[in-house]
Amino acid sequence: METVLQTKHINKYFKKPVLFHVIKDISLQINKGEFTSIMGKSGCGKSTLLYILSTMDTDYEGQLYLNNKLITGADHHTLSHLRNKHIGFVFQFHYLLSEFSVLENVMLPAKKLGELTLEEVTHNAYEKLKILNIEQLAKKRASQISGGEKQRVAIARALINNPSIIMGDEPTGNLDSHNSENVFNIFKELSEENKLSLLIVTHDEDFAKRTDRIITMEDGRIIN
- pLDDT at position 11: 96
Q: Helix 177-193 to helix 147-159 angle, to the nearest 10 degrees? A: 20
Lowest mean pLDDT among 9-13, 76-80, 173-177, 198-202: 173-177
Q: Report the DSSP pairing between strands 61-66 and 69-70.
A: antiparallel
- Evaluate if pTM is beyond 0.85: yes
Residues 6 or more apart whose Cβ sits within 8 Å of residue 174: 92, 93, 147, 151
- CA–CA separation, 116 vs 169, rounded Å? 29
- CA–CA separation, 121 vs 115, rounded Å? 9
pLDDT digits (tens, 9 = 90+) for 113-134: 888 899 999 999 999 998 888 8
pLDDT digits (tens, 9 = 90+) for 187-221: 999 999 889 999 999 988 999 999 999 999 999 99
* CA 95 to mean position of chain CA atoms: 13
201-to-35, 37, 110 alpha-carbon distances in Å: 11, 6, 25
Look at residue 174 and tell me whether its pLDDT is greater than 90.
no
Closest C-alpha among 96, 217, 98, 114 to residue 158: 96
